[in-house]
Chains A and B, each alone.
Chain A
Amino acid sequence: MSRRPYLREVSRTAWFFKRPRYLRYMAREVTCIFIGIYTVILLVGVYRLSQGRAEYEAFLMALQRPASVVFHVAALAFALYNSFTWFNVAPKALPIQVGEEFLPDSVVAGGHYVVWVALSLFILFWAGVL
């Protein structure tokens, strides 16, 4: 009797619709695109600033267009989702052993949130917003 194994094809374009956990993964990964676009806008702003006052003010005016406001609100929402999902899985990459036990995941993830809030407050304070 000879072997004749049958290999089932995996869809390369639609596999992530098969299970909700795959979709959640794709949501985490895809949201980073908006962070990338936001970073490009930020770099354009810095470039405009280097060109002079008039160029920079034109850039600021462009940011106030409705389409730009909609994009920034969406980008903020996606950036928050991306950050939350990554912070919540951080304990897997950084387990901290104390004696015979490991620190609870909530402590490791919580540490990330605390640092995040502290850095955000520092930057807002430094930028003169607070």
Chain B
Amino acid sequence: MTRRHHRRVFWVLVVVLAALHVDFFNHGVSPPPIFGWLPVDLAYHMVWVIAAAALVLYFTQYVWRDSDGS
């Protein structure tokens, strides 16, 4: 894939993750906690942060060039 493709993939994933951050489907409901103690809402956002961190690694590797523009 070229850098242009990587950039497109990155921005699409940014939009998808931003949309998934607004987890209104979790609001106002109280499902049983995961493992009996971890609230689903909290677990959801912890997983979201891990996905975001993975995306940041991808973008610093394939999208952001080591160029100072000169």
Tell whether A and B belong to one assembly: no
